[in-house]
Amino acid sequence: MSDASAGDLGEERRRKLEQLRALGVDPWPSQFAGREEIATLLPRVDAQPSATVRVAGRIAARRDMGASLVFFDLVDQSGRIQVMVRKDVGETGHAIAKKLVQVGDILGFEGTLARTKTNEPTVFATKLEHLAKSLREPPEKRHGVTDVELRYRYRHLDLMSHPEVRDGFVLRSRVIHDLRAILAAKGFLEVETPMLHPIAGGAAARPFTTHHNTLDMDLYLRIAPELYLKRLLVGGFEKVFEIGRVFRNEGISPRHNPEFTMMELYWAYVDYRAVMDLTEELFVTLAKRHTKDGTTKLGERTIDLRGPFARRTYHDLVSEHAGIDANDEAALRRRAAELGLEGLGKAPGWKVLEALFEECVEPQLIQPTFVTHYPTAISPLSKPVPGKPELVERFEFFMNGWELANAFSELNDPVEQLARFEAQVATKDPEAPAEVDHDYVLALESAMPPAGGLGIGIDRLCMVLGGFLSIRETILFPLRRPLAASADRAEGAADGAAPAAGT
């Protein structure tokens, strides 16, 4: 920015806006027909010299070269090109270019494509159209928006000043596209299920509550689509999946956002082992397509996604990394006390085991690893292991200490499912359902085929493939605390300056 204050710059831009209007120019016209992307022009500079082209984009820089000549750097989503404006654009167009166009404005040009004497690909403009006036000073050119909080809060400025940020979201779009295509090729049908649920279920999480006025009933933003997708298996579909938002009223961290994107699939007549094989295939295939060599860098760590992936049991991992026998409850409690894990004095044994897994095991799961055979107590929708009712046919998929996927053989015994729901409700755990979902049990009573289910967090998947350490690099508009609604802070944010504390 110049030495002028943000407020002064805003006034200057509004003056130029009025001057545009005085010339009879609409500062925000409806269209610029026949536009070509900049990236398509560059290969034609030598192949089609002097071709007439029409380009449009944001002014990233301007260079005045005397009374009659001005150069602009024009950028669009695909790239950047130089535009040279002389009096060829007419008296009004030339006046606009010399006096009224500012960095951040959006313009359209028609002209001939050629190289300058310095060999720079350039559009020699013959027509100029002002397409959108920027009333705020763009981020400072060299450094852009560097404050992390501002980058996420004002994503439009982040994207404007950091093209590499856009690359991350292009990756996300392509990963989701490929995931859909892979599943469709395997015969899975994409479906949509409700986001408003009368009972919060399908995962252990605090829900967001809302109210439907006409029906005068409380509803919950879904924490998982699981129970509706499994109703479709009862109805006769055999391979279904859904990609959509889920909502959990929990904390914010580099790995958590209260709304995030989940892919869930359900596959009739298979168990968790077939789903594990499918999960490995999905990750290996996506890594091949979206990383250089099937590996990715997360900080200083190199994660190998070429497969095959390790498969370990839950109890074996706790025994190994906690240094005790995971089947010995007394030993578990002693180890938890030694580690200073609080609130476990009267907790059931499975809760202590779970705490030790989170404390001792998860941080060690750096390379891709399937963890299998979870305790039944923490897996209320999973089918028990034959002959071992205390364990279920479930796996979670980890890497870099992060959970990327959760899957299991689906419990389809309505009597057992009802008993587990009732036990969940009895705990009065705020992350457990507050009431039994009798409607889902009723569906199971009509017979759901044996099936395997899988959930993959899309945001974390994109973190891995893109090499990001924060989930906020994969979500365009992550949730942020509100800023004080003051004009000076809004001006500062638009200028790329950090606001006061409180973000």
pLDDT per residue over 67-110, tens digit each?
Answer: 889 999 999 999 999 999 999 999 999 999 999 999 999 999 99
The pLDDT score that the predictor gives to residue 146 is 64
Residue 359 pairs with which residues in a beta bridge?
Answer: none
Alpha helix stretches (DSSP H) within 56-213? 91-95, 148-153, 155-161, 163-185
Of the candidates 216, 181, 179, 183, the one whose C-alpha atom is nearest the C-alpha of residue 198 is 216
pLDDT at 142 over 50: yes
Between 147-156, 301-310, 434-443, the lowest mean confidence (pLDDT) is in 147-156
In this structure, are residues 231 and 444 in contact, taking their beta carbons and an 8 Å threshold?
A: no
Cα→Cα distances 178→173, 182, 199, Å: 9, 6, 33
Residue with tokens 């610029």: 32
Phi and psi of 307, rounded to 5°?
75, 170
> 62 pLDDT band (50/70/90 cuts)?
very high
Q: For residue 488, what pLDDT is reported?
A: 42
Confirm if 333 and 344 have CB atoms less than 8 A apart. Answer: yes
Dist CA 169 CA 203 (whole Å): 28
The alpha helices in 266-391, defined as continuous H runs, are 272-290, 314-322, 329-338, 349-356
Mean pLDDT for the chain overall:
91
Closest CA to 121 of 35, 32, 47, 182: 47
3-state secondary structure of 24: coil
Q: How far is CA 93 from CA 69, 354, 455, in A?
A: 12, 70, 56
pLDDT(133) > 50: yes
pLDDT digit string, tens, across residues 294-305: 999 999 999 999
Q: Where are the beta strands (DSSP E) in 327-477?
A: 369-372, 384-385, 388-392, 394-399, 402-409, 451-457
Strands 217-221, 196-197: pairing is antiparallel
Q: What percent of the chain has pLDDT over 90?
A: 79
What whole-number percentage of the chain has pLDDT above 70?
A: 93
Q: What's the mean pLDDT in 103-122? A: 95
Question: Residue 225 phi/psi, 5° resolution?
Answer: -90, 5
Confidence grade of residue 8 (pLDDT, cut at 50, 70, 90):
low
Q: What is the pLDDT of residue 144?
A: 57
Instruction: Please tell me which residue, 368 or 486, carries the higher pLDDT value.
Output: 368
Query: According to the per-residue pLDDT averaged within each range, which of 131-145, 170-184, 424-438 is highest?
Result: 170-184
**pLDDT at residue 501 in the model:** 28
Instruction: Tell how strand 259-268 and strand 239-247 pair up.
Output: antiparallel
* Helix-strand-coil split of the chain, %, nearest 5: 35, 25, 40
Is the pLDDT score of 234 beyond 70? yes
The DSSP element (H or E) to which 235 belongs, if any, is helix 226-235
Residue with tokens 């071992």: 388
* The predicted structure's pLDDT at residue 162: 85
- pLDDT confidence of residue 3: 39
Report the distance separating Cα 363 and Cα 357, nearest Å: 9
pTM: 0.87
Q: What is the DSSP letter of 410?
A: B
Lowest mean pLDDT, pick from 5-9, 299-303, 418-422: 5-9
Strands in 196-197's sheet, in edge-to-edge order, are: 196-197, 217-221, 209-212
**3-class DSSP state of 465:** helix
Q: In the prediction, which pLDDT does 253 show?
A: 86
